[in-house]
Structure 1
Amino acid sequence: MIQKFISLLSFLLVSCSLFAQRPGYWQQAVDYKMDIDVNESTFQYAGNMTLKYSNNSSRALSKVYFHLYLNAFQPGSMMDYRLSNISDPDARMTNNLGTKEKPQYQSRIATLTPDQIGYQKVKSLRVNGTDATFKTDGTILEVTLPRAIAAGETATFEMTWDAQVPEQIRRTGRNSKEGVALSMAQWYPKMAHFDDYGWHLDEYVAREFIAPFGNFDVTIHINKDYVVGASGKLQNPLAVKGYNKKAKVQHKDGKATWNFKAENIHDFVWAADPKFVVDSAKSQGGVSVYTVYIPSSAAVKENWKTALTMATEFFDFCSTRFGAYPWPTYSIVQGGDGGMEYGTATLVTGGRDIKSLVGVIFHEAAHSWYQHLFGINETVDEWFDEGFTSYVEELAFQQIFEKKGAIETNPVIAAYRAYYKLALSGKEEPMSLLADYYNTNYGYSNQAYNKGQVLAQQLGYIIGQENLDKTFLKFYELWKFKHPTPNDFKRVAEDISGINLKWYFNLFINTTRTIDYGILGVNDNVIQLRNKGGIAMPIDLLVEYQDGSKELFYIPLREMRGEKPAENFSIYQGVKRTVLEDWFWTNPLYQVKVGKAIKKVTIDPSLRLADVESSDNVLTL
């Protein structure tokens, strides 16, 4: 008995070590309490913040930094110059002074007048009761502390600031094209992220974010006729408009007070408009989903009603496949200029057809996993955020909206086709490039949203779909509410599958090499294969014989140091599977000898191998 206990204990210790997080892992923490007084007629507000910042690193910090995102919406900002100098600027942020054939783009930021620009002006800042020195440099506030924050210490910041909400140009702003008065994203001085790599001080040029997890307690004073949708849970629904039929709006000097709280998120958004209506439903898993939108027509109202029902199904689907949604609420709020995710909420444009509306809601809600549960550094690993989110979105959309039932083989084939177009365009850059630095928006968006999906789906081809599904759930278990890197996801996939994946993640992320296999021919029942690309891969080779039988030959890659298990796809049902000797990347040629007359040979019938030239992947004799 004692020996059995020791054996069991040893097994558990080994199992835990296999799935352990990085040794010495730590992360900073924030606790915001903010009070905002809004003047909706001037689109300005006064802010008051108390922030508790916990330094969980081993370093004393003599400086800290805040992001002042609204400062980007000023003529002469880095965002303004970026719009003026990139070859394919975002159409939402520019005016075309030329023609469609010969465009001449003008940054919309460049034309903003002083009463249209955005700004955040810090008026006072104290740390642990003592005045701190600070200066603003673009969208970054640099704070020199009166005394360093020691390792393990929590400091209290007290800040007051004035702000002006810019014209709606990107994500945040006033008077959107759909008539939303205030879309309040990136609206507060936000503590910059500090980790093993140091401070992340990216100037805001319209890409995305990284921030520490923390708690938010936000109070908003605004005209009593306005309805507010926001991150977190509304604390006083009976005192404000829209959330409860029994509410009696309480106001002082014509203003109502709204209070929202949220725990363990890393961004907070809100939007406000007097035309907003609120609807809600609860998922089977207990998530209260709110929609806050302008019912501009009967069709729009019906679309939002349908989308709300599907949104509750979405949270149940994702909780099963990717880990339980851990917050009590999620708010879908009309606003912004497209769709953008925030902690427990999203802003989306609402005047869409039902397919578009459900699609954008599913995408932004999927970010609750691949961004907000895992505080991914989107400025560095944007594909890990957008690509994996798009993968989740597509699986859910096909099951819930299109009602396809069980999805086999490759559900994200459209992303593969977009990636092939990018890879052959001459505009592809490595996915490891910092998000801000892509030469084109075309290159950025296709590698982030499409090649990122390909990486995830093709990983299932390498390690097996069942192992991929297990990887997603184990990754959730280990890394929720933390800041994992792609390498952490790779390690979980390796531990689950027993397959080495260094070669795959390195080549597919850090290079623009492509995958290209072909069938050279068949001679005396010997199939000749060739690797014509720059990335070696394992091969599933389906052979159909003249007698009507089939055989699946699996050729592992030597670098894998392992094999994927047989997969239970219908295309392989009743098909004999034969595992061959591994193929190594230094030899471009490989032969498969069979014992019967061949009718047809197919490389990867599941279409998950991202082969950029597949015309020679099928040979019929």
Structure 2
Amino acid sequence: MDDNAKFYIFGIMNLKTSITLLLLTVTSVMGFAQRKTYWDQKVDYAMEIDVNEKTFQYDGKMKLKYSNNSGQELNKVYFHLYFNAFQPGSMMDERLKNIVDPDARMVTRSGTKEKPVVTSRIATLSPQQVGYQKIKTVKYNGVDVPFKEDGTILEVNLPTAIKDASTVEFDLTWEAQVPEQIRRSGRNSKEGIAFSMTQWYPKMAQFDEFGWHLDEYIGREFIAPFGNFDVKIHINKDYVIGSSGKLQNPTEVKGYFNNAKIKAKNNKATWHYKAENIHDFAWAADPKLVVDSAKTQTGTTIYTVYLPTDQEVIGNWKTALGMATEFFDFTGKHFGQYPWSTYTIVQGGDGGMEYGTATLITGGRNLKGLVGVIFHEAAHSWYQHLFGINETVDEWMDEGFTSYIEELAYQEIFLKPKVRELNPIGMAYNGYYRLAKSGKEEPMSLLADYYNTNFAYSNEAYNKGAVLAEQLGYIIGKENLQKTFLTFYDQWKFKHPTPNDFKRVAEQTADINLKWYFNLFINTTRTIDYAIGEVSDQQIEIKNKSNLAMPIDLLVEYQDGSRELFYIPLREMRGEKPAEQFDIYQGVKRTVLPDWFWTKPSYTIPVSKQVKKAWIDPTQRLADINYEDNAYGQ
């Protein structure tokens, strides 16, 4: 029960009133409670690694506490060994050879324009260049147990089951080689970063109500249980590290204090980090990195760790740092407060990728590109890391909602427009329209790894996912959408919610049924296409030319200069959105008409004046693939 509920209950003086308000409070809290079947596993990592910066190899040891809250016994567990993907013949290698539009970062191109030759970079790696994580020992509660490596998955059979509501301990030792920088992880990036250490440790697989998540690593993203991390990295004392978590010994290592007394043993410094309630841990290291920092209004420390290659780059990073603090304040206000004390933006990797309390991004960008990628990856602190969205299953919710946050913040902080766009994510809509008309669209519910093209995946996950969010505001109302995001944060942070959990919060917030919308927009490739038909002094005809029905806003301007907004709810909604506060609707009479149902292809709106102009959805949040026939008299 939240603090407000307690205040209302315990502040009541009259017993009868107390009982009444208590019942109302309990009913309200239950209305937004987690599903009854909800549970989640928990992990606590204590890791220590010793890095050889000359061979790009390291030795690792881990003590992992694993808490089983599933309601059942577990006879085996699984870990991910992501580095093993960077070997010739791996599933990632084969995917690159066979997909029609492979990621350009992961292939080389030769031949001619007429006869291009595309080669997987993984296929050409030598034994000294491949990546691997070779498990040496696994102990279960102190006893050696058998294990099997199969691609990027480690299977561990247990001599005794992990009982429900119990915590067990695993001890692992392993040796690893950091692969050439091909995708996310790697050594010697194009920008000159020595180590981009992501997916670098044996990572406990997610087990939840859907079972074990054992996706082979072929280039897409991740899901994992929440937990605490205690990590010690032994590396050459001249290196600077940017990492997840909070540095415990900043005065003993290079880069964080000008007067630091570097504490070294055998020419190596130890970097000690801790982080709580995250589900992934990443770091990057190079001797040339520099560190800068600033605080948000709410006290979060934002670090930038980057290569100061020239004055323009330095200036861009300093400006971006200031904007990053504004970003966390903006996003905290609209999507829920950032819950950790630090966030680190590290130059590394091959583009941009989010991790627990940190991101790795390429840094040799102009200011616009740098701010854009920082905003996107930082937004993943909400839609991925704070909620633990399953990126392999619900990639559109992860990337789409992140893109939505990114664009709102980018316009507010970077562009600072004097006139607000009615639809703030018009570029995402345009990307979705290209996809819908391309013939390559696949259902957005498809598992992330299985799209036929990267083109379809990118536009589904990033653009159509963002459109789903903004169009939801069109359906339930802009203010209800804002309330939905904040209520979802309150109810589901750190709990691995599903899209249905988000849908239920939206339904309860707006008192509108949304099953039809989420089902058709996510699980099918149906499109929206409305048009204005015949117009007379007595009526306006609206036609649904598609197979995805939606509620309709129709703004009408009469010959006498007056305006009227007709709102037609969809019968499947079993409710209606409230009036919205857009400037274009100020002083306009709003008329709510009887609901329309999807089995009827046309709807007639009665009017009592001569019509001069009419247009469907002047806010352009309805994802209509053909806007040319949405207006009359324009």
Q: TM-score range by the shorter chain?
A: over 0.9
Shift in Å, 1:534: 1.2
- Please say which of residues 398-407 and 605-614 is displaced more in the overlay: 398-407
Partner of residue 45, structure 1: 58
Partner of residue 564, structure 2: 551
2:140 to 103, 110, 127: 127
SS in 2 for 1:15: helix
Query: Where in structure 2 are there 5+ consecutive unaligned residues?
Result: 1-13
Partner of residue 29, structure 1: 42
Partner of residue 477, structure 1: 490
Shift in Å, 1:9: 1.5
Equivalenced residue count is: 621
Pairing of 1:257-406 with structure 2 (within 5 A): 257-404=270-417
Deviations 1:428-464 (A, max 9, x none): 0001000000000000000000000000000000000
- 1:142 equivalent to 2:142? Answer no
Shift in Å, 1:98: 2.9
SS in 2 for 1:542: strand
Shift in Å, 1:521: 1.9
Change (3 A) 1:620 1:352: same
Q: Which amino acid aligns with 2:278?
A: I
SS in 1 for 2:620: coil
Distance 2:228 2:268 in 1: 26
Shift in Å, 1:478: 0.3
Q: Which amino acid aligns with 1:466?
A: E
TM-score by length of 2: 0.97
Change (3 A) 1:377 1:107: same
Change (3 A) 1:100 1:521: farther
- 1:202 equivalent to 2:215? Answer yes
TM-score by length of 1: 0.99
Shift in Å, 1:31: 0.2
Shift in Å, 1:102: 4.4
Pairing of 1:494-505 with structure 2 (within 5 A): 494-505=507-518
Shift in Å, 1:101: 5.2
1:399–1:405 Cα contact (<8 Å) kept: no
SS in 1 for 2:173: strand
2:537–2:609 Cα contact (<8 Å) kept: no
Distance 1:78 1:165 in 2: 18
Partner of residue 630, structure 2: 617
Deviations 1:567-615 (A, max 9, x none): 0000101111000010000001100010000000100000000000111
Distance 2:102 2:121 in 1: 11
Change (3 A) 1:101 1:331: farther
Partner of residue 168, structure 1: 181
Distance 2:424 2:530 in 1: 22
2:306–2:347 Cα contact (<8 Å) kept: yes
Partner of residue 491, structure 1: 504
Query: Where in structure 1 are there 5+ consecutive unaligned residues?
Result: none
Shift in Å, 1:525: 2.8
Partner of residue 153, structure 1: 166
Change (3 A) 1:510 1:277: same
Partner of residue 7, structure 2: none
Change (3 A) 1:407 1:10: farther
Partner of residue 10, structure 2: none
- 1:461 equivalent to 2:461? Answer no
Deviations 1:121-171 (A, max 9, x none): 000010101111101000000000121101111110000000000000000
SS in 2 for 1:97: strand
Distance 1:346 1:405 in 2: 31
Partner of residue 86, structure 2: 73
Deviations 1:210-230 (A, max 9, x none): 000000000000000000000
Partner of residue 19, structure 1: 32
1:131–1:146 Cα contact (<8 Å) kept: no
1:217–1:262 Cα contact (<8 Å) kept: yes
SS in 1 for 2:112: coil
Shift in Å, 1:406: 7.1
Q: Which amino acid aligns with 2:429?
A: Y
Q: Which amino acid aligns with 2:44?
A: D
2:537–2:611 Cα contact (<8 Å) kept: no
Shift in Å, 1:404: 1.7
Distance 1:329 1:521 in 2: 59
Distance 2:382 2:113 in 1: 39
Deviations 1:282-337 (A, max 9, x none): 01110100000010111111100000000000000000000000000000000000
1:130–1:146 Cα contact (<8 Å) kept: no
Q: Which amino acid aligns with 2:164?
A: A
1:408–1:569 Cα contact (<8 Å) kept: no
Partner of residue 443, structure 1: 456
Distance 1:38 1:473 in 2: 43
Distance 1:394 1:101 in 2: 39
1:125–1:131 Cα contact (<8 Å) kept: yes
> CA RMSD, aligned part only?
0.9
Partner of residue 452, structure 1: 465
Distance 2:433 2:317 in 1: 35
1:596 to 606, 609, 619: 609
Distance 2:263 2:103 in 1: 42
Shift in Å, 1:183: 0.2
Partner of residue 530, structure 1: 543
Shift in Å, 1:25: 1.1
